[in-house]
Chain A
Amino acid sequence: MYGISSSGKEAIELAISKMFDSLAYKFLGNIPKLREKSPFFSSSPAFSLAHIFIQALNNKEPNIFERDVLKSILNSSYGYIESLKNRTSSNVVESIDALVKEAKLKKEYVNSSQVNEVIAGEMEKARGHLKLIAEAETTKTRNLGHTMYIIGDAKDQGISDPVCFYILVRDGKACFECVRLHMLEDGVTPRVWKLSEMSMGWHKRGEDRPSACGEHPFCRCSLSQLQPGWGFKGGYISFISPTHDEYKKQRGEDV
């Protein structure tokens, strides 16, 4: 049974592809992979993933290593968007083709409302996935930017393995996993970790160490460094004494 022609399918795929490329460009910022694709992407978007990374680095010019980290973040994020683009494109083409075939079998034509309904259904699915990608990638980028900043700052201070902690941004709305990993049993004091103890990949529920990428897509907890001599009073960061070691205190090693 003959549905949409192959050139027609290509045209539909191109429309979907353009849509996702434009979104990826807006989200990721100026990346060569996309710039080469279209001459329309001439200016960099004001707010993008690259912007978040630089912001997390305290707005300083990234060095060669930080640039490389950013490049790999942008490439992997683009990979996720590209896979969503391919899937959505195939789904839209197949759904419209099926609609056309069914109509032809009945010796009828498809109307625009039927086509729009099919596209809207597929786009709704894509929208959910895109939001998930955007949330996960922005969280990861923000936290990796913070990590790079902490590493640089610690290096300047001669600290090889800095003590870090997560700041729960939404009290009362934080998930169980974040509270378990980021807070002590008192539910007020942030739990400290050595940077070397943290996982550098996606966190899996139930793991006993936090991830530097954040714990989940909609996570707003922020990574921060705890300077030597500093600790917590009622959950608030405060200077305790020059010899105070919060990590040892929390691990029961300061005897």
Chain B
Amino acid sequence: MRNQDWKLKYQDLKLKFHDAVDVAFRLGMEQGLQQAQVQQAQQQQADAQAAQQAAMGGQPGQPGEDPNAPPGQEQTDGSELDQHIGQLEGMLGQSQPGSPEQAGLQKSLNGIKAFRSTLKQAYELKKSEQAIKAIGKAMKSPFTLSKTATKNLTEHGKKGLSDQERIVEELMKSMSDEEAKAKDSIAKTLDYEQLLKG
């Protein structure tokens, strides 16, 4: 026990603690992204309430309003990352203007804000992709065999079903091509009869 290096042990524990905080933060972020849709709705509601309070002449110190907030502070959206950004902004407000500490903090803050923006963009993109997929699915559901049909149907039965889908699809595709040809031919006839304008 006496030979134990307490400083090393402290540093080791500190490192583990930071790792745990980091992992927890990341997990929280992922969860937060998954629930962002719900949060967005809640956020809109909260924003509406805040706007209503502001319109009614809310008192300083009320929730959602920081009297010490520096000008140009962005509105938070309630996520964990935003809370941290808010904390950093608070610290930045308290630090001396022009000091190297403030410059460092400002740089970190900008980096985090950029990171948040990238995350938001990626999330929005993912949401749009999901929406497009859902629209595509709703437009034409792919032909799939049920579990029992897969087992009960013979191979030639399965082949017959997929061929049926293919034949109908190809016929309808051909109709579009043939329709264009017929239109062209009719236009020529009307033109020959001098019934068409131009």
Contact = CB atoms under 8 A, between A and B. Distances in A.
Interface of A: 4-5, 8, 11-12, 14-16, 18-19, 22-23, 26-27, 47-49, 51-52, 55-56, 58-59, 92, 96, 100, 103, 108-112, 115-116, 119, 123, 127, 130-131, 134-135, 138-139, 142, 145-146, 167-172, 190, 220, 222, 224, 235-237
A171 B144 CA distance: 10
Interface string B147-177: 1110111101101110110111011101100
Contacts of A224: 152-154, 157
A23 B174 contact: yes
A3 B156 CA distance: 55
Interface stretch (B15-23, B56-64, B71-79, B186-194): B186-194
Given A146-B157, A167-B149, A169-B153, 12 more contacts: A15-B186, A18-B182, A23-B171, A56-B160, A96-B190, A103-B195, A110-B195, A112-B196, A119-B182, A138-B167, A170-B144, A236-B148
A190 B190 CA distance: 58
Interface of B is mostly: helix
Pairs A-B, 10 closest by C-beta atoms: A171-B146, A15-B185, A109-B197, A11-B189, A19-B178, A111-B197, A19-B182, A138-B164, A169-B149, A58-B156
B175 A222 contact: no
A167 B157 CA distance: 10
14 contacts: A52-B160, A52-B164, A59-B156, A100-B190, A108-B197, A109-B196, A111-B196, A112-B196, A112-B198, A135-B168, A146-B157, A171-B148, A222-B153, A224-B152
Chain B CB within 10 A, most for which of A4, A26, A222, A236 = A222
B173 to A, nearest CB: 10
Given A4-B193, A115-B196, A134 B182 contact: no
B164 A139 contact: yes
Given A47-B166, A52-B164, A58-B156, A127 B151 contact: no
Nearest to A46: B170
Given A56-B156, A135-B168, A169-B161, A5 B193 contact: yes
